Amino acid sequence: MENFPVINMEKLNGVERAATMEIIKDACENWGFFELVNHGIPHEVMDTVERLTKGHYKKCMEQRFKELMASKALEGGIQAEITDMDWESTFFLRHLPVSNISEVPDLDDQYREIMKNFALRLEKLAEELLDLLCENLGLEKGYLKKAFYGSKGPNFGTKVSNYPPCPRPELIKGLRAHTDAGGIILLFQDDKVSGLQLLKDDQWVDVPPMRHSIVVNLGDQLEVITNGKYKSVLHRVIAQTDGNRMSIASFYNPGSDAVIYPAPALLEKEAEERKEVYPKFVFDDYMKLYAGFKFQAKEPRFEIMKTMEVNVKVGPVVTA
């Protein structure tokens, strides 16, 4: 098995730019995942985010999680695998189109401020990455950002998770296998406790923890826009018997009313002739479907969107 792709973003500014773009291209085509180092987000910001997230978990979430799991999951010494829940403790922050950080309960001011700061940096990084993808795909700069824009700009939010130590990891997943519905996902994961795996060539591969790195993966919408040149990849989190794993996943997704469809420049004639064309739909309609089918295969989701396609009548994305 080849090594997990790691991109040193500093190399995009020097003589190794072409080789680095090539690693990104290969990662997008063959992994659906890659890991960024030297991405420009200050390590001190990441350290503060980590410290406050872990403190917040201890103070506000841990007891709740223990009570919930004691009552639900493992009471009475469960023997069979649990397939309808995950061994994770989470909360969500929305940044765009409108932030809800000031309304989320139990966060102190310093935590709110650093999460706002971190999100702003991640938003810029996501947009930078989308342009790198455009370059590799031969799409004009800004194409993907515009494709995601809709009428109010992208949806951008953060899922803050902790995966506490689990006494029976063989019976319950930290998070069951799924592909992400949206656009591009930026993950700040614990550098000590592992657990995230992706499916590659029918084998589960660990996403290696690496201090101060950002893990990137591609969601279903990029698979649609690239007409399958890039694919969203199944991933899951394995619960661990020791250690608490922190993960902060930020989802840069299309706006709710953005119309998503394969970029005309990427539609190969042969694929069109064989009718191997991904559907066109309003992103929010996809999300409604995903809500009920997150842990099932994505292909039926695309098929259902095709049957709804007749109702979508919109012109091409203008990128001038």
Sheet with 235-237, edge to edge strand ranges: 175-178, 235-237, 196-200, 203-206
Is the Cβ of residue 61 or residue 249 nearer to ligand AKG in the bound state? 249
Binding of residue 223 to Fe ion (CB under 5 A): no
Q: What's the N-to-C CA distance of the chain in angstroms?
A: 42
Q: How far is the CB of 180 from Fe ion (least distance, A)?
A: 4
Residue type, 52: L
Is the Cβ of residue 180 or residue 220 nearer to Fe ion in the bound state? 180
Contact with Fe ion (CB under 5 A) among 50, 86, 88, 180: 180
- Running DSSP on this structure, what letter comes out for residue 191? S
Residue ranges in the chain assigned as alpha helix (H): 17-30, 43-56, 62-72, 109-137, 143-149, 220-225, 269-273, 283-293, 299-307
Task: Count Cβ atoms below 10 Å from residue 90 Cβ, excluding itself.
Answer: 15
Is the Cβ of residue 20 or residue 179 nearer to ligand AKG in the bound state? 179
Q: Residues 232-261: x/- map of binding to ligand AKG (CB under 6 A)?
A: ---x-x---------x-x------------
Stretch that binds Fe ion, among 64-72, 142-150, 180-188, 309-317 (CB under 5 A): 180-188
Beta pairing class for 203-206 and 175-178: unpaired
Q: How far is the CB of 246 from ligand AKG (least distance, A)?
A: 9
Give which of Fe ion, ligand AKG, none residue 184 binds (C-beta under 5 to 8 Å, depending on kind). none
Q: How far is the CB of 190 from ligand AKG (least distance, A)?
A: 9
Binding of residue 50 to Fe ion (CB under 5 A): no
Contact with ligand AKG (CB under 6 A) among 20, 155, 161, 197: 161
Q: How far is the CB of 116 from ligand AKG (least distance, A)?
A: 20
Residue 235 backbone phi and psi in degrees, to 5: -145, 165
Tokens representing 122? 């991640």
Q: Across-strand partners of 159?
A: 92, 249
Contact with ligand AKG (CB under 6 A) among 11, 54, 146, 159: 159
d(CA 179, CA 200): 13
d(CA 73, CA 85): 8
Q: With left for phi above 0 and alpha for psi between -120 and 50, is residue 40 left, alpha or beta?
A: left
Q: How far is the CB of 8 from Fe ion (least distance, A)?
A: 24
Is the Cβ of residue 33 or residue 261 nearer to ligand AKG in the bound state? 33
The site for Fe ion, by CB under 5 A, has a size of 1
Binding of residue 173 to ligand AKG (CB under 6 A): no
Is the Cβ of residue 174 or residue 279 nearer to ligand AKG in the bound state? 174
Q: Are 265 and 205 in contact (CB under 8 A)?
A: no
Binding of residue 180 to ligand AKG (CB under 6 A): yes
Is the Cβ of residue 129 or residue 259 nearer to ligand AKG in the bound state? 129
Residues that bind Fe ion (CB under 5 A): 180
